[in-house]
Structure 1
Amino acid sequence: MELASAPVTRRRAWAAVAVVCAALFLLGLDFTVLNVAVPGLRAELGPTLAETQWIVDGYALALGGCVLAAGALGDRHGRRRAFAAGLALCALASVAGATGDGPARLVAARCAMGLGAALFMPATLSTIVHVLPGRADRRRAIGVWAAVAGVGALFGPVAGGWLVERYGWQAAFWLNVPVAAAILAAVPVLPESRDPDPRRLDHPGALLSCGGLLALVWGVIEAPGRGWTSAGVLAAFGAAALLLTGFTLWQLRCAAPMVPVRLLRGGPVWPATLCLALMSFAMFGAMFLLTLYLQQVRGLSAWAAGQRMVPLSLGLAAGAVLGPVVARRLGARVPVAGGLLLIVAGFAQLGRLTAGSGDAPVLLFEGVCGFGAGLLAPVATELVMSAVPAAMAGVGSALNDATRQVGSTLGVAVLGSVLATVAAGAPVAGAAAFTDGLAAASRVGAGVALLAAVLAWYRLPGRRPAQAPVPVPELDRASPPPSLLGR
């Protein structure tokens, strides 16, 4: 059951979908808009490479670490309320970032923006589940949701490049303020909903997961400068392993876990979430590498680099339209595994780029990777949401969101660190050293995507629809929505 409310007309339902997708577009924009501002930001404020990675990664780290707890808060206190609070926090933090005068303040602002996004992001999918109970409409809405999620991230370099070139790196922060204000003005369109029998908040789980992720990403980012075997880096990795192991054990024995562990034990949910995480790892890491390549090796301006990211958006939108159609005919494994193999092929192209490469190989890489990501994202997302009871839609949405955000955070951190480590050890500095690092990082990204493709092929359903999950005590409070992949 959901919070009792007046029936939602189909027109209002689609208006609500438009509002939450606009917020999701803003979230994707914030993920990548700062990438094209990095050269100007480094020239003016002088952050180290590690500090730069923290400025870029702080947003995704806070979002990925806190979104599960935020999803539970939305289920408990109202998803529309959480949505509005998150947008307001994101706008205020953007103002703080735009007026920042040092790396520390920018890192803090980006983390606060991530906390705001953690509050409103779970409400996007859970609102779609609430306002569109019909199978066909919900399938279309989730396809739109997946396309907007990627297009927002890919539009960031385009809009950011144009603004940064004219108004400086601060424009990457100021851009959020009018967009967030416009979405806040439309919040009354959203019907309020919440879980009528909410679980207790899992405070130990939230602390353990946030601490473990923070230690892990810190170690990955600092390793190239400090050394992979330095005491500080090894201590960070050890702390991450200890905290994340403790988080897993706590979730298994906690009466009201932050992550519904029993839901992940069977069926397609855990492989679908892992595929989403590995896809995000590969794609956001690749976008970070490509932005650095275009500006530092090719010497393009922020606006010119942003223009060359457009094929990623077009490919992703096309894939998001086709993916659910393929899944209904051939099962989920074909579009998910096929999309990941296309990402592998894209990384092979990325690793061959040199200082003398023209636009054609860059655009080919973007089109192939974008289409692959678009093909799999809505299908894997639907597999997760179709297994979660409607009353816990916020937790289900947060689970989907957390896997993607943690994956994207680690993708930027790991691939960026591989690039920095190999480039620093190259015998000749300059463009050749960068492209050596780019090739090494591309091999890592391709390996991750290939691993995910194998997982998808063997663990996701084929032509026959997935079986309904086995009811478990903490989940069986309402029937899960029917799978959108089956007929």
Structure 2
Amino acid sequence: MATVTQNAVRRDPRRWWALGALVASMLTLGFDTTILNVALPTMAGELGATTGQQQWMADAYVIVFAALMLPAGLLGDRFGRRRMLVVGLGIFLAGSVMGSLAGDVNWVIAARTVMGLGAALVMPLALSVLPSLFGPDERTKAVGVISAASSLGLPLGPIIGGWLLNHFWWGSVFLVNVPMAAIGIAACVFLLPETRDPASPKVDTLSTALTAAGLGALIYAIIEAPGRGWGDPLIVGMLAGAAVLITALVLRERRVERPMLDMSLLTHRGFLFNTIAATLVMFVLSGLLFVLPPYLQAVLGHDAFGTGLRLLPMMGGLIIAARAAQPVVARFGSRAVVTAGLVVLAFAALLGSRTTVDSGYGFTALWLSITGFGFGFSVVPAMDGALGALPRDRAGSGSGLLMTTRQVGSAIGIALLGSLLASTFRDRLDVTGLPTKAADTAGESVVAAHIVAQKASSADLVASANSAYVHGMGLVLLVCGIAALVTALLAAAFLPNTPVTHATKEGEDPAMATAAADAGQ
């Protein structure tokens, strides 16, 4: 189909309906970002998933998403954005069906991998079609609508997921994606114009393979290390292999004339340190969303729906702060706001690390609310500042690198913080008197320990499991707090203190890319 010119589309009264198609797509991805977290404790109980397997269920999606996002965007540029967007939604739908029918952990992990492939196509392409739909005068509003849709998916994910788990089987958290994806496909087919950019760089198959293999090896080593030991030959080999593959990727991308990952962007101080800040925030957020649901369900005893509701203070704080961040940045500058946001995040994490078995939900809601505000006031201006530090003609490649590093931060957060939790829980769990097989099963996760305790009618094992899990969660939060504080010091020392709202006022592409990346979370 011929490329549709921007002016023609701007006069098309269907453009706002077309935006609705993109909103349906982004809402689907927003759901899937958080809906699985509240389901993991239930799935762990029914499928017998260890903490490591739960990490893989979460990380399989994120790794593929991060590794394939840039080449997926280039495929849309070359072969048609609408066509590849429909393909991405179709793949995401197929993965969701596959997950709903899965009978064991390995099939769930495979389904999440397929869904990650679909999401990698949907995310960049849903945003790249906006310039062909709207002119500068309308684009900022369109970007706001898309960002709001994706943000809405974050708090709705746990609530809808919890309600489904209370009324249906665990596969329903996958099946709920099917009608949303189907609506998105139909709307894209009938409402979106086809656009492409034949001049875009070609997909570099070798760089894509190096990215996926390097990330996969690194995450595998981090997740499996608590069980095998950091000195295990396989773990050492995986870490060494990851280092070689990622180094090869960097060297190759620096030599290529038109790289997919433009590493030279990291020479811009503002981009580098804002990217580090945004990536650290995603590291903390993904780790928190992994460790919190088992605490709320297994330790505090809430059902899945109640767990979803109890995550709302953090989501509410995040959304409110994200919306309020830009006016604050305009007045005080990005360095001050990012630094303050990181300090608030560090305070919240350190406060949360004081949680005990007897703390109750009131204390948790307090530090969760503060956490949300810290997230919002750090990640949004950091991402705006990263793109604002670049020349206008580098905004596209900069947003791609920024979104990719954010996803990598999420994957490593789940792997590293989840592994720290798993090893701490296993070391502190008292399995005295249990048969060897039952003791091994109890050490796999707090949910597994509760199941073993129920079968053995052991109140002592329940108490030990709760205590061990809360201790492990406190250690994770302590690490998050220290990391946020160190990043705050780096931000205060190295970030340029430049307001970054000028691009959003003009409706230029940097703002669109930034809002897109915000929505991508």
Q: TM-score scaled to structure 1, two decimals?
A: 0.88
Alpha-carbon distance between aligned partners in 1 of 2:16 and 2:68, rounded to the nearest angstrom:
28
Residue identity matched to 1:373: F
Task: Please tell me whether residue 241 in structure 1 is matched to residue 243 in structure 2.
Answer: yes
Residue identity matched to 1:114: G
Aligned counterpart, 1:61: 63
Q: Alignment partner for residue 346 of structure 1, among 345, 348, 351?
A: 348
Displacement of 1:379: 2.8
Displacement of 1:368: 1.4
Give unmatched runs, 5+ long, in structure 1.
469-479
Displacement of 1:399: 2.6
**Which has a greater percent of helix?**
2
Please state whether the residue corresponding to 1:186 is helix, strand or coil. helix
Change (3 A) 1:220 1:99: same
Please state whether the residue corresponding to 1:447 is helix, strand or coil. helix
Please state whether the residue corresponding to 2:10 is helix, strand or coil. coil
- What are the superposed Cα offsets for residues 388-415 of structure 1, whole Å, 9 maximum, x if unpaired? 7888876554333212211111111111
- The answer (yes or no) to whether the contact 1:195–1:391 under 8 Å persists in 2 is no
Q: How does 1:38-437 map to 2 (within 5 A)?
A: 38-134=40-136, 138-139=139-140, 141-142=142-143, 145-187=146-188, 188-385=190-387, 395-426=397-428, 428=430, 429-437=464-472
Residue identity matched to 1:177: V
Deviant stretches of 4+, over 6 Å: 387-394, 482-485
Aligned counterpart, 2:437: none
- The answer (yes or no) to whether the contact 1:12–1:189 under 8 Å persists in 2 is yes
Alpha-carbon distance between aligned partners in 2 of 1:181 and 1:312, rounded to the nearest angstrom:
30
- What are the superposed Cα offsets for residues 416-471 of structure 1, whole Å, 9 maximum, x if unpaired? 11111112222644111111111111111122222332333334332456999xxx
Please state whether the residue corresponding to 1:34 is helix, strand or coil. helix
Change (3 A) 1:328 1:363: same
Residue identity matched to 1:163: L
Alpha-carbon distance between aligned partners in 1 of 2:182 and 2:396, rounded to the nearest angstrom:
23
Alpha-carbon distance between aligned partners in 1 of 2:512 and 2:495, rounded to the nearest angstrom:
14
Aligned counterpart, 2:489: 454
Aligned counterpart, 2:476: 441
Aligned counterpart, 1:472: none
Alpha-carbon distance between aligned partners in 2 of 1:12 and 1:391, rounded to the nearest angstrom:
30
- The answer (yes or no) to whether the contact 2:51–2:418 under 8 Å persists in 1 is no
Please state whether the residue corresponding to 1:408 is helix, strand or coil. helix
Residue identity matched to 1:176: N
Please state whether the residue corresponding to 2:322 is helix, strand or coil. helix
Which of 151-160 and 299-308 deviates more? 151-160
Change (3 A) 1:210 1:273: same
Taking every aligned residue pair, what percent have the same amino acid on both sides? 36
- The answer (yes or no) to whether the contact 1:201–1:256 under 8 Å persists in 2 is no
- The answer (yes or no) to whether the contact 2:9–2:134 under 8 Å persists in 1 is no
- The answer (yes or no) to whether the contact 1:146–1:320 under 8 Å persists in 2 is no
Alpha-carbon distance between aligned partners in 2 of 1:133 and 1:316, rounded to the nearest angstrom:
30
Change (3 A) 1:464 1:159: closer
Q: TM-score scaled to structure 2, two decimals?
A: 0.83
Displacement of 1:123: 1.9
Alpha-carbon distance between aligned partners in 1 of 2:140 and 2:379, rounded to the nearest angstrom:
13
Displacement of 1:384: 4.7
Alpha-carbon distance between aligned partners in 1 of 2:352 and 2:78, rounded to the nearest angstrom:
45
Displacement of 1:71: 1.9
Which of 390-399 and 321-330 deviates more? 390-399
Please state whether the residue corresponding to 1:401 is helix, strand or coil. helix
- Select the structure of larger CA radius of gyration: 2
Alpha-carbon distance between aligned partners in 1 of 2:90 and 2:510, rounded to the nearest angstrom:
34
Which of 275-284 and 142-151 deviates more? 142-151
Aligned counterpart, 1:37: 39
- The answer (yes or no) to whether the contact 2:268–2:390 under 8 Å persists in 1 is no
Alpha-carbon distance between aligned partners in 1 of 2:116 and 2:325, rounded to the nearest angstrom:
29
Displacement of 1:301: 0.9
Displacement of 1:77: 2.3
Displacement of 1:109: 0.4
Task: Output the aligned Cα RMSD.
Answer: 2.8
Residue identity matched to 1:51: Q
Displacement of 1:280: 0.7
- The answer (yes or no) to whether the contact 2:395–2:509 under 8 Å persists in 1 is no
Displacement of 1:129: 4.9
Change (3 A) 1:253 1:260: same
Residue identity matched to 1:257: P
Change (3 A) 1:256 1:463: closer
- The answer (yes or no) to whether the contact 1:72–1:395 under 8 Å persists in 2 is no
Displacement of 1:386: 5.2
Residue identity matched to 1:66: L
- The answer (yes or no) to whether the contact 1:268–1:466 under 8 Å persists in 2 is no
Aligned residues: 472
Alpha-carbon distance between aligned partners in 2 of 1:372 and 1:21, rounded to the nearest angstrom:
27
Alpha-carbon distance between aligned partners in 2 of 1:262 and 1:7, rounded to the nearest angstrom:
35
Q: How does 1:465-476 map to 2 (within 5 A)?
A: none
- The answer (yes or no) to whether the contact 2:330–2:499 under 8 Å persists in 1 is no
Displacement of 1:147: 4.9
